[in-house]
Amino acid sequence: MEFSLWLSLVLICLLGAMTPGPSLAVVIQHTVGSSRLHGFCTAWAHALGVALYALCSLLGLSIVLQQSPLLFKIIAYGGAAYLAWLGFKALSSKGGLVNQLKSHQTASYSKAAKDGAMISLLNPKLGLFFLALFSQYVSASSDLSSQVALVSTPLVIDGLWYSLVAFLLTIPKILSAIRQQAIWIDRVSGVILLFLAVRVVWAV
């Protein structure tokens, strides 16, 4: 893979990671509600999910989905249902940040990792992202080193970005301000999740 092409991949992956959405909401919840390490677990489990999409694209998943509209719809609707469920929990404060802070209980590291992985694997937005943009890089990656770069680049960028988010959220002054606005974080996160779910259904 040419260096200029790789740089464009880096930029696209960075912009994709920085776009606010359900992934950010989950990282915030586990970081603020539990600890920085919980946030790191969520971040890197999410990054592994992103890398899996990249690997699947490399193995030809994009072709399979394009040739099987029914399979694509099943995946999209499943992801939309999961997003809607997370949104309802946040709005009702069942499993949201407010509920977690009030209970004074931290989630397990496995729960944080599971949520991070699931929000990436069942987020149709990521699937659409790789289907729409990633195929051009797959076709230009015939050698092994390029294929490794194609999978590892989104993994590393996504993991580092959300790790940075988790780190900043646990700086005392920032954390204190977030705790005071926990209910609004839940409400905004819930609305975003529900909006994304509706948008996916509408687009499909």
Choice between 32 and 36, residue whose per-residue pLDDT is larger: 36
Rounded to an integer, the average pLDDT of 130-145 is 65
> CA 164 to CA 9: how far, in whole Å?
20
- The pLDDT assigned to 7 comes to 83
pLDDT tens digits for range 186-203: 777 778 778 767 876 776
pTM across the whole model? 0.68
Q: How far is CA 167 from CA 47, 104, 163, in A?
A: 16, 21, 6
- The pLDDT assigned to 21 comes to 72
Choice between 65 and 201, residue whose per-residue pLDDT is larger: 201
Query: Domain-by-domain residue ranges, the chain?
Result: 3-9+22-203
Residues 6 or more apart whose Cβ sits within 8 Å of residue 184? none
